[in-house]
Amino acid sequence: MAATQLVSSKDSSTTQLARDRVRLTTFGVRNDAVQAFIAAINRQSVDFGVVGVMNVPIVRDEKRTQVELEILAMKKTIDFEVSYYQKGINNFAVQYIKSVIPTFLA
């Protein structure tokens, strides 16, 4: 007989597959750095499998005037569509928080 594992109602509410849109806005960053960041996110998605990127994010340049300096700011936005299991992202966040070493500055 095959063994089955029952999931309690407490766990079943957190194992749902979720989908979200995430907008990232950067200031003062050049295109090559933003493209490297997107590549790092895609690599992390493949390596860890916690979050899946469902689209090919496009970097959009937006103009934002900084009046006090009379210059144009380098503002870029990136829209991601991601999918993840709520339980998986929760476990990842808990592990990450536990691994952080606090630093106190006087």
CA 4 and chain centroid, separation: 34
Domain ranges of the chain: 18-89
77 compared with 70, residue with greater pLDDT:
77
Averaged over 63-85, what is the pLDDT?
A: 83
> Which stretch of DSSP H or E encloses residue 11?
helix 9-12
- The hierarchical CATH code for the domain 18-89 is 3.30.110
Rounded Cα–Cα distance for residues 32 and 79 (Å): 17
Residue with tokens 């503002």: 75
Sign of CA dihedral 37, 39, 24, 31: positive
Rounded Cα–Cα distance for residues 45 and 57 (Å): 14
DSSP string, 13-71: TT--EEEEEEEEEEES--HHHHHHHHHHHHHHHHHH-SEEE-S---EEEEEEEETTTTE
In this prediction the pTM is 0.67
pLDDT tens across 22-60, in order?
999 998 888 999 999 999 999 989 998 889 999 999 999
69 compared with 10, residue with greater pLDDT:
69
Residue 88 has pLDDT above 70, yes or no: yes
